[in-house]
C-alpha cells in the first residue's frame, strides 16, 4: 500500500513540476501560463541564479530526496532499520521546509503583488503538486510512528 501511495506521489510530483500551474492574465489581453519547470528555466536564463538555486533546492531536490528515502524506508528489511528510522526522523523535522511551504508562499506573493494589474487562474499542476506534498507528508508520518517488535503501531 505504501509503495502505491509513494508511486502516486511521485507521479503527481512530476505532473506538478511540468504541468501548467497558473495563468497570469494582464489587462485582459496578455496571458502567460507557467509551470514550475518553465519558471526555473526562465530564472536561470535571466541570471537570477540565487533565486533559481533556492527554488530548485526546496521545490525539486528536497522533495525527490524525501521520496527516495521514503521508498527505501518503506521497503527496508531488518538490516539497517535504525539508519532508516534516523533518516525518517530527520525528514519529519526538516522535510516540512521542502515543498508546500515555499511554493504556497511564492504563489501568494505573486497573487498579492499583482493585485489589480493581473488576474491569476490556477491550473491542475498546482493541485497535483499540492496533493503530492500531502501524500508524501502523510506517508512520512505513517512510517515514523513508533511500532512494537511484532509490527503493530503503539
Q: Which domain holds residue 26?
A: 2-144
Inside any domain, residue 88: yes
Residues of the chain by 3-state class (helix, strand, coil), percent to 5 = 70, 10, 20
Inside any domain, residue 154: no
Residue 49 has pLDDT above 90, yes or no: yes
- Confidence (pLDDT) at 32: 82
Q: Which three cell numbers mark 71?
A: 521508498
Inside any domain, residue 89: yes
Inside any domain, residue 150: no
Residue 150 has pLDDT above 60, yes or no: no
pLDDT digits (tens, 9 = 90+) for 120-135: 788 898 889 888 888 8
Q: How many domains does the chain have?
A: 1
What is the chain's mean pLDDT, rounded?
Answer: 78
Q: Which three cell numbers mark 131?
A: 496533493
Inside any domain, residue 151: no
Amino acid at each position: 500500500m505504501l509503495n502505491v501511495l509513494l508511486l502516486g506521489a511521485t507521479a503527481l510530483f512530476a505532473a506538478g513540476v511540468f504541468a501548467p500551474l497558473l495563468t497570469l492574465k494582464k489587462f485582459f489581453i496578455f496571458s502567460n501560463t507557467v509551470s514550475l519547470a518553465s519558471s526555473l528555466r526562465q530564472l536561470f536564463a535571466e541570471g537570477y541564479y540565487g533565486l533559481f538555486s533556492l527554488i530548485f533546492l526546496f521545490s525539486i531536490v528536497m522533495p525527490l530526496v524525501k521520496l527516495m528515502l521514503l521508498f527505501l524506508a518503506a521497503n527496508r528489511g531488518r538490516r539497517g532499520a535504525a539508519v532508516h528510522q534516523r533518516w525518517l526522523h530527520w525528514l519529519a523535522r526538516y522535510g516540512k521546509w521542502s515543498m508546500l511551504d515555499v511554493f504556497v508562499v511564492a504563489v501568494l506573493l505573486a497573487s498579492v503583488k499583482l493585485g489589480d494589474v493581473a488576474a491569476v487562474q490556477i491550473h491542475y499542476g498546482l493541485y497535483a503538486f499540492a496533493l503530492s506534498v500531502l501524500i508524501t507528508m502523510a506517508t512520512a508520518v505513517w512510517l515514523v510512528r513508533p511500532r512494537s517488535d511484532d509490527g503493530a503501531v503503539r
